[in-house]
Structure 1
Amino acid sequence: MFVDPPAPTPKTAEEKPPASAEDALQNPPRAWEFNPDYQRLVTAWNTVLPHLEGLRTALDKAYGLAMSPQTWDAPVGERYVEDIREWRNRLAAYRHSVLTAISDEAADTPRWVRTTANAPHAF
């Protein structure tokens, strides 16, 4: 059984960009913005998780019905139960790999990036 990796956390209303001494010394000071790439990872996680949950729920329901003694009256039923069990294992591994990929990418992506909104321009 796999445990889901940590999800990327969305920006909260109270969250402020990082402050450093060099930012205050620049004239004009550089601004920060929430990283759009990090936000895309949050969106990807929130998009894919309900689909994976729906697939898991459907396979768990089918597996529960297949395991019931009222469902199968022949020895061939065990083969179908094994097939569904294998599908569940593959889905668990797939879920783990997809969520781990998103989580690892979020861990390597900075939450805040400097913006060029206050950068001086030569006109």
Structure 2
Amino acid sequence: MFVDPPAPEPWHKGDRPPRTTSPSQEDTPATYLFNPEYERLVVAWNNVKPQLDALRTALDKAYNLARSPQTWDAPVGERYVEDIREWRNRLALYRHAVLTAISDQAADTPRWVPTTAAIPRAN
């Protein structure tokens, strides 16, 4: 059994960007924006995890029913139990791979990015 990796941290009301200054303007603080790429990872996690949970729940229910002596009365039943066990193992590996990929990408993606929205530009 795998433990889920850490989920990307969504933006919460009251979150503040880092307090740094821009390199080009030492006395003017840089303006930051919550990174849209990071937000996509949060959304991906929130969309994928419930679906993976639903699949796991469905396979667990089928596995528990298949193992019940009231379900199978023939030796062929063990083959079906083995098949469902293999599907559960594959789903666990797939779940771990997908959630780890999202978590790793989120760890490599900054939550805040500097923006030039407040800097006036000549048209």
Cross-structure match for 2:52: 52
* Alignment-mate amino acid for residue 25 of structure 1: D
Contact 2:66/2:72 (8 A) holds in 1: yes
Q: Percent same amino acid at aligned positions?
A: 69
Which consecutive residues of structure 2, in runs of 5 or more, have no partner in the other structure? none
Compute the displacement of 1:119 (Å).
2.2
- Deviation string 1:85-123 (CA, Å, 9 cap, x unpaired) is 000000000000000000000000000001110223123
Match of 2:114, SS state, is: strand
Structure 1 residue 14, shift from structure 2 partner: 1.5
Give the deviation of 1:20 after TM superposition: 1.4
Secondary structure of 1:60 counterpart: helix
Which TM-score applies when normalising by structure 2? Answer: 0.93
**Alignment deviations for residues 48-70 of structure 1 (CA, whole Å, 9 cap, x no partner):** 01100000000000000000001
- Which residue does 1:64 correspond to in 2? 64
Ranked by relative contact order (alpha carbons within 8 Å, sequence separation 6 or more), the top structure is: 1
CA distance in 1, matches of 2:63, 2:88: 9
| Residue 17 (structure 2) aligns with | 17
2:103 aligned with 1:110: no
**Could you say what the CA RMSD is over the residues aligned between the two structures, in angstroms?**
1.3
In 2, Cα distance between equivalents of 1:53 and 1:21? 43
Which amino acid is 2:109 matched to?
T
Given the two structures, how large is their TM-score scaled by the length of structure 1? 0.93
Deviation at 1:12, TM superposition (A): 1.2
Q: 4+ runs of 1 displaced by more than 3 Å? A: 21-24
